């Protein structure tokens, strides 16, 4: 196979070839590391590249295949880990000068599970400082650029994961999503991103285990890869109370997607899309209808609590990171500093009212699932924006960059973003598919059905030609 075919091969295919001794983990990891080195000066998807360790693990993985040992589901598959997850013995900066020399002694539970499944970490992918921003840029590492157009944002805060997947720098990325941080970069970069049901994947890195709306999840090029990765690392952890009652995930491949009679509610009032995004969304809805789904415009008058969600977000940034300001202010991201200062303006009553609004939103969304099996919307209202527009995203969330995504962090529902086509500027657009709590597999199946009807994984950014 060609070098490009190897780099853009789905993880499901690569894992099968490795098990059959038709693909060398050493060759595979070498190809990915070479591509990372070639794109770092332009795409800048990684803070740390663990080349030596990855090659050592690849050699061990290959020997295990030759010795016919029992292999994990991700044996020999390269993965990047967002730099918000602790990795034992590997620099973990959280995108911040504050942690420029932090080397954890222990792995995050999800990193442990990926290792146990045979995945090989090739590096730590970029994130804005403490994952605060919907665009991946910061004083510590510069800008992570969109592989489809280097003058556009890769989104954030899992921007390194999204850019890596789009550029062929390994098929799997582990990201986080507190207000769209998986779905935004996946949409901007034309890949797949799953924000699971809160608790499906244990998230031990949150500062507040009980008042949590952030989750971990995969960024990949195919829906099947996202499903495989999710199945591999799902399961409870005693350190995440949300995960303790999570049901066992139904296997993705247990049955084919059947959309006959499936009721889908289109959230037409969520965000204001550009004409090209709207046209691609309409084409996706038509494809779902052609497969038997019943699609209706949701006319429910829902308060999406944009300002209250903003209050909670900025207020939490102050609580979580404001204590760094006295010592580190001049070395922190100016936007994070600004948002912390905004968060300091909110009082206890403001914050508690916002929390109560979250409960109202949760109930409004769950009420929709009495009528609909799934909800859909554009993921982003426009294609990836230019860097000059990313400098301050302080305005209302009602029509902002993350207008379509943050509500489902607040409600906890699983939300998948899949490519929907390309805009007039040649950049990807995306559709978001939302399901009831714990219906992650069913959401993935709808995404797979759309992937089958409107294929996208074979499409690659022009920079791939040089790899």
| Active-site residue, 181 included | yes
Q: Which run of H or E residues covers position 123? A: strand 120-125
Reading the block at residue 148, the tokens are: 């489809």
Reading the block at residue 447, the tokens are: 């995404």
Q: Is the dihedral of CA 136, 139, 141, 143 positive or negative?
A: positive
| Active-site residue, 96 included | no
- What are phi and psi for residue 277, nearest 5 degrees? -65, -45
Q: From the candidates 24, 82, 158, 377, which is the catalytic residue?
A: 82
Q: What is the DSSP letter of 299?
A: -
Q: From the candidates 125, 181, 237, 377, which is the catalytic residue?
A: 181
Q: Exposed/middle/buried for 246, CB within 10 Å: 0-12, 13-18, 19+?
A: buried
Q: What is the DSSP letter of 92?
A: -
Partners of residue 266 on adjacent β-strands: 297, 376
Task: Tell me if 307 sits within 8 A of 397, measured CB to CB.
Answer: yes
Q: From the candidates 24, 125, 157, 420, which is the catalytic residue?
A: 157
| Active-site residue, 452 included | no
Describe the strand order of the beta sheet including 192-195 as a list of residue ranges: 46-49, 120-125, 78-82, 172-177, 215-220, 192-195, 415-422, 428-434, 374-378, 263-266, 294-297
Catalytic residues: 82, 157, 181
């Amino acid at each position: 196979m060609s070098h490009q075919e190897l780099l853009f091969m789905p993880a499901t295919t690569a894992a099968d070839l490795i098990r059959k001794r038709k693909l060398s983990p050493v060759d595979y990891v070498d190809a990915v590391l070479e591509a990372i080195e070639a794109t770092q000066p332009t795409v800048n998807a990684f803070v740390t590249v663990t080349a030596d360790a990855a090659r050592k693990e690849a050699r061990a993985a290959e020997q295990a295949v030759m010795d016919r040992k029992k292999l994990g589901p991700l044996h020999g598959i390269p993965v990047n880990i967002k730099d918000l997850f602790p990795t034992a013995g590997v620099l973990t900066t959280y995108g911040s000068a504050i942690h420029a020399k932090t080397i954890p002694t222990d792995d995050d539970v999800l990193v442990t599970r990926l290792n146990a499944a045979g995945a090989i970490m090739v590096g730590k992918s970029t994130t804005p400082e403490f994952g605060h921003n919907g665009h991946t840029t910061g004083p510590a590492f510069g800008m992570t650029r969109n592989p489809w157009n280097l003058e556009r944002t890769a989104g954030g805060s899992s921007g390194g994961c999204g850019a890596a997947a789009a550029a062929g720098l390994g098929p799997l990325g582990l990201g986080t999503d507190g207000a769209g941080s998986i779905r935004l970069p996946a949409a901007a970069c034309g890949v797949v991103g799953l924000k699971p049901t809160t608790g499906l994947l244990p998230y031990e890195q949150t500062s507040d285990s009980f008042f949590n709306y952030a989750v971990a999840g995969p960024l990949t090029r195919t829906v099947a890869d996202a499903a495989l990765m999710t199945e591999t690392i799902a399961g409870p952890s005693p350190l995440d109370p949300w995960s303790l009652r999570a049901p066992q995930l139904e296997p993705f491949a247990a049955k084919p997607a059947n959309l006959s009679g499936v009721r889908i509610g289109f959230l037409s009032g969520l965000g204001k899309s550009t004409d090209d995004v709207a046209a691609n969304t309409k084409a996706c809805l038509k494809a779902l209808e052609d497969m038997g789904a019943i699609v209706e415009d949701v006319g429910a008058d829902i308060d999406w609590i944009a300002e209250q969600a903003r209050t909670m977000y900025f207020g939490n940034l102050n609580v979580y990171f404001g204590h760094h300001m006295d010592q580190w202010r001049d070395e922190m991201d100016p936007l994070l500093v600004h948002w912390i200062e905004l968060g300091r303006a909110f009082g206890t009553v403001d914050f508690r009212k916002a929390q109560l609004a979250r409960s109202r939103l949760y109930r409004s969304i769950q009420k929709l699932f009495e009528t609909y099996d799934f909800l859909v919307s554009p993921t982003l209202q426009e294609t990836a924006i230019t860097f000059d527009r990313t400098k301050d995203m302080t305005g209302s969330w009602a029509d902002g960059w993350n207008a379509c995504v943050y509500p489902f962090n607040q409600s906890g529902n699983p939300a998948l973003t899949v490519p929907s086509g390309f805009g007039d500027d040649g950049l990807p657009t995306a559709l978001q598919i939302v399901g009831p709590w714990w219906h992650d597999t069913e959401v993935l199946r709808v995404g797979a059905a759309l992937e089958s009807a409107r294929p996208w994984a074979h499409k690659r950014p022009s920079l791939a030609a040089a790899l």
